[in-house]
Amino acid sequence: MRPTMEDVAARAGVSRALVSLVMRNSPKVSDVRRAAVLRAAEELGYQPHVMARSLASRTSTVLGVMVNDLRNAFFADVVEGLDAAAQAAGFDLVLNTGGRRPAREGTALRSLLSFRPAGVILLSPVVPASAIEAAARQCPVVLVSRTSRASGVDTVNDDGEAGSALAVDHLAGLGHRRIAHLDGGGAAGAAQRRRGFQAAMRRHGLDPIVVRSEHTDTGGEKAVRELLATYSRAELPTGLVAGNDFNAVGAISALEEAGLRVPEDVSVVGYDNTSLAALRHLSLTTVDQPRTEMGRLAFEALIERVRGERTEPVRHLLHPSLVVRATTAGISATGGARR
- Contacts with DNA by CB under 7 A lie at 1, 4-6, 14-18, 20-21, 23-24, 27-30, 32-33, 48-49, 52-53, 55-59
Residue 156: strand pairing partners: 144, 316
DSSP class of residue 107?
Answer: H
CB of 89 to DNA, least distance (A): 16
Contact of 20 with 52, CB cutoff 8 Å: no
Q: Does 267 engage in binding with its own copies (CB under 8 A)?
A: no
- From 89, 279, 324, 326, residue interacting with its own copies (rule: CB under 8 A): 279
Q: How far is the CB of 309 from its own copies (least distance, A)?
A: 21
4 contact choice in DNA, its own copies, none (CB below 5 to 8 Å, kind-dependent): DNA
Q: How far is the CB of 132 from DNA (least distance, A)?
A: 23
Return the one option of its own copies, DNA, none that residue 262 interacts with (CB less than 5 to 8 A, by type): none
What does each C-alpha distance from 174 to 168, 170, 181 come to in angstroms?
10, 6, 17
The answer for residues whose C-beta is within 8 angstroms of residue 324's C-beta and 6 or more apart is: 170, 285
User: Binding residues for its own copies, how many (CB under 8 A)?
Assistant: 54
Per CB under 8 A, the segment of 102-110, 176-184, 207-215, 323-331 that binds its own copies is 102-110
| 199 or 228: CB nearest its own copies | 228
Helix (H) or strand (E) holding 247: helix 245-257
Number of Cβ within 10 Å of residue 142's Cβ equals 29
Q: What, of DNA, its own copies, none, does residue 202 touch, CB below 5 to 8 Å by kind?
A: none
Among 113, 199, 206, 314, binds its own copies (CB under 8 A): 113
- Does residue number 281 form part of the binding site for its own copies (CB under 8 A)? yes
Q: How far apart are CA 171 and CA 137, in angstroms?
A: 46
225 interacts with, out of DNA, its own copies, none, CB within 5 to 8 A per kind: none
In order of 13, 79, 186, the CA distances from 169 in angstroms are 72, 31, 25
CB-count burial class (<10 Å; 0-12, 13-18, 19+) for 87: exposed
Phi-psi sector, 227: left (phi>0), alpha (psi -120 to 50), beta: alpha
Q: Which of the listed partners (DNA, its own copies, none) does 206 bind, with a CB threshold of 5 to 8 Å by partner kind? A: none
Characterize 45-63 residue by residue with b for buried, 16 or more Cβ atoms within 10 angstroms of its Cβ, and e for exposed: ebeeeeeebbeeeeebbbb
Vertex 100 angle, CA 270 and 150, to 5°? 90
By beta-carbon proximity to DNA, the closer residue of 46 and 246 is 46
| Interface with its own copies (CB under 8 A), residue from 29, 44, 70, 191 | 70
In whole angstroms, give the CA distance from residue 5 to residue 234: 79
E strands present in 116-274: 119-123, 141-144, 153-158, 179-183, 209-212, 239-241, 267-271
Residue 36 C-beta-side C-alpha neighbours within 13 Å: 14
| 41 binds its own copies, rule: CB under 8 A | no
In terms of CB distance, is 58 or 71 closer to DNA? 58
The least CB distance from residue 109 to DNA, in Å, is 17
Stretch that binds its own copies, among 73-81, 125-133, 153-161, 162-170 (CB under 8 A): 73-81
Q: Which residues bind its own copies (CB under 8 A)?
A: 2, 45, 47-52, 54-55, 62, 65, 70-71, 73, 76-77, 79-80, 83-84, 87, 92-97, 99, 107-108, 110-116, 134, 138, 217-218, 221, 246, 249-250, 252-253, 275-276, 279-282
